[in-house]
Chain A
């Protein structure tokens, strides 16, 4: 691991240099919000962003991707996306979500489509400069990140502290010719940023240690909150769509005009959508809206954690809070309500 310091103008030069030879994706303004998109100029990169509209998940699990191609009666052919890319500006909570997805797509059966993209990515994470209006990463223990990234940037005023954590990260940092060893003062300022963010990314405050959430939910399966919240749920799946840890998908075939060749396509799906558990001809196993609403919250804090060593699969980005039109998706308000009613706050 190498930790260096780079002035912001030298960092901009590094980004320009990367854009010349690499496929670089970075956070940019989109109207008055921010999103990840292919980067054309270092001037467009906005590492002072609060939160992106979509999490970086789409670069590993695209909204739609070709898994296979086929010819009727012939063999199926895997289609893997092996294009290298650099992802610039991933916030810690999103990095932790990627770490969780890595584990989920690797365990039991390796998903070569996800993992091929993941292996071809170089991730430059960056500590949060400006907390978003819905973030609760401090409550979830995801305000800072210690692993998974190739490079971590921390804004310490006129410079970045730049940590290369992997060989890919070292390679990238080697291109920053003006980088100097980070002096103790800079490292101290980085520690200060981490200490600040551990408290500051907390627009909503969870009333318990997140590790305690599975116990809260174990006692709340029949709580009236599911029905109450679901009454105004549109079942639109926006909460699923913007979530960095939602990874449910559907698979469909698409036939070409020749009617003999085609492709099998994987698309995002959402457990809130009506029909998610429907089988032919018409039976739907999780039909009730309240049951679907509850399922999402249980996946985040009980079901998925069982698969990833107890980590809570809500990283506190707050995107679902902002995306939900009837304003019922906020996990903190639901979990706090349960904690209050159980009298264990």
Chain B
């Protein structure tokens, strides 16, 4: 047993961050901007952090901002459990614990340069996707066509409405948004997000497709992409699980042999053939 092993830093020890900004986005989602107390925070799109609320616990949350946005980082959190409920009660200036960034991310940041990109987001699937979307838009010249498909259950659950409107007006992004349920206030398409796949103007076969949404959505999106003969190696799926420890030990996020916290949470579809539990 090497002595040096015991001298390394504690992988379970959170560092303090301060809530720089917090606001309610809709009925269930809260926006947070956090700044680490001990300096800058480096990450890549697709990585996540473990957020600690002392006395309540820890929860894995994928970063929603882009590393191009500066030293602080953003999270969007649905009030759905004990930790997320406590996060919703935070005020500006409050302290939280942060471990991370964790995970490989593995959004194809380098591979995608020069390629056409199609983001398919279901509900709060937009939240982690936004990190790479903003990264791409901040380096727009490095990429080909960009299409963003967003499907939301109902009008009041829409997120990032101002940003989405701005993306739609840029002229260099095909932004299509749909609602599962029609609403008198909504003039856009109605129906599930998979219906938008055929409306994408770029060549789907050669594009990289980035997918994130509720578990139920993946099979239908994959079926829609199969109709367009999209090669499996061009499809990237965000497979978030219960990343309890976030460092490859506790076993909760395992999909067959793969630890989502270590080799994900974004996976290439062609790599999932050996992971029957994935979808």
Contact = CB atoms under 8 A, between A and B. Distances in A.
Contacts of B250: 248-251, 269
Interface residues of B, number: 45
B188 interface: no
Nearest to B58: A251
Contacts, number: 136
Contacts of A113: 10, 12
Contacts of B3: 119
B245 A298 contact: no
A279 B12 contact: no
Contacts of A202: none
Contacts of A278: 242
B55 A303 contact: no
A340 interface: no
Nearest to A248: B251
A187 interface: no
Interface string A280-313: 1101011000010001001000110010000000
A111 B11 contact: yes
A71 interface: yes
B3 to A, nearest CB: 6
A184 interface: no
Interface string B226-253: 0000000000000001101101111111
B13 A303 contact: no
Q: Say what secondary structure dominates the interface of chain B.
A: loop
A285 B249 CA distance: 18
A178 interface: no
A162 to B, nearest CB: 21
Nearest to B240: A279
Find the residue from B57, B84, B252 having the highest chain A CB count within 10 A.
Answer: B252
A209 interface: no
Contacts of B222: none
A255 B53 CA distance: 11
Size category of the A interface is 35 or more
A115 interface: yes
A252 interface: yes
B257 A73 contact: no
Contacts of A71: 54
A146 to B, nearest CB: 16
B56 A253 contact: yes
A111 B249 contact: yes
Nearest to B102: A109
Contacts of A75: 16
B5 interface: yes
A108 interface: yes
Given A71-B54, A221-B276, A251 B1 contact: no
Given A109-B248, A253-B55, A269-B250, A76 B11 contact: no
Interface of B: 1, 3, 5-14, 16, 52, 54-58, 80-82, 84, 94-95, 97, 215, 241-242, 244-245, 247-257, 262, 276-277
Interface of A: 67-68, 70-76, 78, 80, 102, 104-106, 108-113, 115-116, 118-119, 221, 247-253, 255, 259, 262, 264, 266, 269, 271, 276-281, 283, 285-286, 291, 295, 298, 302-303, 306
13 contacts: A67-B10, A70-B97, A108-B262, A109-B11, A110-B8, A111-B249, A112-B6, A112-B8, A221-B276, A253-B54, A279-B242, A286-B277, A291-B277
